Amino acid sequence: MQAGAFGEPRRWAIEHQIAVGEFFDAEGLVPVAQAHIMADTESLGEAGVGFLESLARRPEAERRVRVPTLTDPRGLDVAVYKRLGQTEAMRTLEARAIAALRAFGVLMTDTCINYQTIMPPVRGEHLAMGDTGVVIYSNSVFGARSNFEGGPSALAAALTGRTPRYGYHLEECRRATRRFRLDARPRDLSEWGALGGIIGQACGSYWEVPLIEGVEEIPGSDALKHFGAALASYGSVALFHMPGITAEASPDRERPARPLPNPPPLAGEGRVGAMRPGRPRSQTIGRAELEAFVAAYGATGDKVDVVVFAAPQLSLLEMAAVAEALGGRQVHPQTTLLVATSPEIKCAADRMGLTRRIEAAGAIVAAGICFYQSYAGELAEANGWKRLLTNSAKLVNIIGGYGYRPTLLSLERCVDSAVAGRVV
Amino acid sequence: MPVVLKCHKGVGPAVSGTALVARDNFSARYDLDRKRGVFSRPTHKLAGESYVGRILVLDEAKGGVATAWMLRDMRERGLVPLALVFNRVNPILAQGAAFAGVALVDRFHGDVTDLIRTGDELRVDPAAGVVEILNRDLS
């Protein structure tokens, strides 16, 4: 493959995997059951799209993916892009990327909730997942095995059917390195996200694995989705354990981490990234910490420019919750309410009348995008958006760099604020 | 004789340039205005600083997967750091640097954000796993 006998796409793929594998002292390659490619055009840029097109022009036998391969959300939904102020140039670039991805035989799922909607992973299954929220949910809740695979690496895995065996493909990297105790009950999805944010900030490294004790009520799939997405966003964390809830939180895994493989040969502190000096090994999180995290983004009374439900895309139950919270009211004329979900859930919401109820309020329902991957900076400029409300801690964390002033509130308070046109 | 810092072998070409240092983390999506070539996240310790052509010396990679694509596009538009020198990186930064051909090294003896100061002249050799501080003498 490295010599080019299987064509240029697979030659590039294996070269890329060898470079990444050597960087992390990988123990060879491991076959993967699925790949999942993040390839929104804001991230790809002209360079990335041109790269995809250059491989997509190769003969079909050289370019077809070897394992089922899905896509993460796109940068633009053709049904709503004009209403959002996105440009024809963005649409053209998006169309080029889609054409190239289809030429590889990629399934255009355009979703970051594939574990809820397409194919839940299985314990022990090796994957090449290309979205941090998908990776952490797959690893933690299901016990599957994936590293963060950025777009080029997920494409490489799709082309070779393998990925470098390091990090969370290895049993010894999956043990807890830090312990947290929850001394409060998160009240809604925004507080589950806040909890993920607090633990993520405390961990601050891809190589840390938090163990969370004291979770008294079993969180549902959407709660774990928001928790994991925020944990991955604030901390770059890819795996967590909750005893009695997640797949691998057995007593064996609750032991403190032993020296782990893949050591930095010079630093002499054990496994990559673990045990940074100055960081406590255990921490208790109570109501005061949750409320302080949310309060840091507070803005009661401010005018609301845009309310976003996304990051991750909404499940069907979240779509129903938005429709219910609106309750027939109208969104304020100076405020935009945007809901982003997957194409599958959008179809279900259409069929069940949820989309109609949400759009009747003046809100926008987008499919296959996730807002921050959709030229968020350009959207802010085009629409004059500054104050953004959301119940997603992940989105609050990301969007500041795009020039927004974000506020984290419950879904119901976000909707009430969208109706009032100011933070209530 | 310059100060020599050993690290894990990295990816990308050997380069020489000026250091921009902060004890903070990094994501191209979260932290950068990639059109202007500056750190844009208000809470980042390098907010407002240009990263173009500088050797970024930071603590860890953070956040999501976008940097894996973004570094290559930044390089082709000429708005890219010259090299990345970190205490630790996640897979995304390593994948992005490999894809873009940007020099990246990590895993040093000690905290590299203490060992290197802003304005230091560095030579980064990823294949050898070495960073030299050219303007400081070991003696």
ipTM confidence score: 0.96
pLDDT of residue A251: 54
pLDDT of residue A274: 40
- Chain B contact present for A23, CB below 8 A: yes
For residue A18, with 0-12 CB atoms within 10 Å meaning exposed, 13-18 middle and 19 or more buried, which class applies? middle
Cross-chain residue pair A204–B60, CB shorter than 8 Å:
yes
Mean pLDDT of all residues belonging to chain A: 93
- Chain A contact present for B49, CB below 8 A: no
Beta strand B121-125 pairing with B130-137: antiparallel
Mean pLDDT of A27-38: 97
How far is residue A195's CA from residue A242's CA, in Å, rounded to a whole number? 13
Nearest residue to A284 via CA among A213, A192, A223, A185:
A213
Find chain B residues with C-beta within 8 A of A149's C-beta.
65, 91, 95
pLDDT of residue B137: 85
Residue from the list B7, B68, B75 with its beta carbon closest to the beta carbon of A153: B68
pLDDT of residue A400: 86
Find chain B residues with C-beta within 8 A of A264's C-beta.
8, 107
pLDDT at A271 over 60: no
- Chain A contact present for B113, CB below 8 A: no
How far is residue B121's CA from residue A97's CA, in Å, rounded to a whole number? 40
Which DSSP helix (H) or strand (E) runs through A337?
strand A336-341
Burial B96-131 (b: 16+ CB within 10 A, else e): bbbbbebbbbbbbeeebbebbeeebebbbbbeebbb
- Write the pLDDT tens digit of every residue in A317-328: 999 999 999 999
Find chain B residues with C-beta within 8 A of A402's C-beta.
40
What is the residue-wise DSSP string for B9-37? --BS--EEEEEEE-SS-B-HHHHEETTTT
- Closest-CA distance, A422 to chain B, in angstroms, reads 23
The count of other CB atoms within 10 Å of the CB of residue B23 is: 13
Dihedrals phi, psi of A170, to nearest 5 degrees: -100, 130
Cross-chain residue pair A45–B25, CB shorter than 8 Å:
no
For residue A249, with 0-12 CB atoms within 10 Å meaning exposed, 13-18 middle and 19 or more buried, which class applies? buried
Q: How far is CA B133 from the centre of its chain?
A: 14
- Closest-CA distance, B56 to chain A, in angstroms, reads 18
Question: Which of B92, B114, B131 to substitute to test the interface with A, most A CBs within 10 Å?
Answer: B92
Mean pLDDT of all residues belonging to chain B: 95
pLDDT of residue A261: 36
pLDDT of residue A257: 47
- Chain A contact present for B130, CB below 8 A: no
Mean pLDDT of A246-252: 78
Which DSSP helix (H) or strand (E) runs through A159?
helix A151-160
Contact between A41 and A95 (Cβ < 8 Å): no
pLDDT of residue A273: 38
- Write the pLDDT tens digit of every residue in A370-398: 999 999 999 999 999 999 999 999 999 99
- Among A67-71, A260-264, A388-392, B107-111, whose mean pLDDT is lowest? A260-264
A268 pLDDT tier (thresholds 50, 70, 90): very low
pLDDT at A219 over 90: yes
- Write the pLDDT tens digit of every residue in B80-118: 999 999 999 999 999 999 999 999 999 999 999 999 999
Note the helical H segments in chain B: 28-31, 67-76, 91-100, 112-115
How far is residue A30's CA from residue A157's CA, in Å, rounded to a whole number? 10
| Inter-chain CB pairs, A–B, below 8 Å | 157
How far is residue A331's CA from residue A401's CA, in Å, rounded to a whole number? 27
Q: Which residue has the tokens 């998908």?
A: A134
Nearest residue to A394 via CA among A237, A193, A225:
A193
The 8-class DSSP code of residue A139 comes to I
Cross-chain residue pair A130–B109, CB shorter than 8 Å:
no
- Closest-CA distance, A297 to chain B, in angstroms, reads 13
Question: Which of B30, B34, B95 to substitute to test the interface with A, most A CBs within 10 Å?
Answer: B95
- % pLDDT > 70, chain A: 92
Cross-chain residue pair B90–A236, CB shorter than 8 Å:
yes
- Chain B contact present for A20, CB below 8 A: yes
pLDDT at A281 over 80: no
pLDDT at A267 over 50: no
Question: Which of B99, B105, B108, B109 to substitute to test the interface with A, most A CBs within 10 Å?
Answer: B99
Beta strand B15-21 pairing with B38-39: unpaired
- Chain B contact present for A46, CB below 8 A: yes
Q: What global pTM score does this model have?
A: 0.94
- Write the pLDDT tens digit of every residue in B9-41: 999 999 999 999 999 999 998 899 999 999 998
- Structure-token pair, residue A269: 């502190």
- % pLDDT > 70, chain B: 99
Closest B-chain CA to A269: B109
- Closest-CA distance, A265 to chain B, in angstroms, reads 7
Torsion of CA B19, A151, A231, A271, to 10 degrees: -60
Domain boundaries, chain B: 2-137
What is the residue-wise DSSP string for A222-248? HHHHHHHHHHHHHH-----B-TTTSTT
How far is residue A137's CA from residue A115's CA, in Å, rounded to a whole number? 8
B59 pLDDT tier (thresholds 50, 70, 90): very high
pLDDT of residue A252: 56
pLDDT at A215 over 70: yes
- Closest-CA distance, A381 to chain B, in angstroms, reads 13
Domain B2-137 -> CATH class: alpha beta
A280 pLDDT tier (thresholds 50, 70, 90): low
Nearest residue to A106 via CA among A70, A134, A76, A75:
A70
- For A357, residues 6+ apart whose C-beta sits below 8 A from its C-beta are A323, A326, A328
- Structure-token pair, residue B47: 């907010």
pLDDT of residue A249: 84
Question: Which of A18, A43, A374 to substitute to test the interface with B, most B CBs within 10 Å?
Answer: A43
pLDDT at A254 over 70: no
Beta strands in A45-199 (DSSP E): 69-71, 162-164, 178-182
pLDDT at A416 over 50: yes
Mean pLDDT of A188-203: 97
Which residues of A, range 53-72, sit inside 8 Å of B by Cβ? 72
Assess whether the previous peptide bond of B2 is cis (omega < 30° from 0). Answer: no
Axis crossing angle, helix A41-56 with helix A151-160, rounded to the nearest 10 = 30
Find chain B residues with C-beta within 8 A of A152's C-beta.
68-69, 72, 95-96, 98-99
Domains of chain A, first to last: 8-169 (3.30.499.10), 172-294 (no CATH), 297-420 (3.30.499.10)
- Structure-token pair, residue A129: 């997942």
How far is residue A332's CA from residue A422's CA, in Å, rounded to a whole number? 9
pLDDT of residue A299: 87
pLDDT of residue A403: 87
B64 pLDDT tier (thresholds 50, 70, 90): confident
Task: Describe the strand order of the beta sheet including B83-88 as a list of residue ranges.
Answer: B2-6, B130-137, B121-125, B15-21, B55-60, B83-88, B103-105
pLDDT of residue A401: 81
pLDDT of residue B63: 76
A279 pLDDT tier (thresholds 50, 70, 90): low
pLDDT of residue A262: 40
pLDDT at A52 over 80: yes
Beta strand B103-105 pairing with B83-88: parallel
- Write the pLDDT tens digit of every residue in A76-127: 999 999 999 999 999 999 999 999 999 999 999 999 999 999 999 999 999 9
CA angle A231–B74–B26, rounded 5-degree value: 30
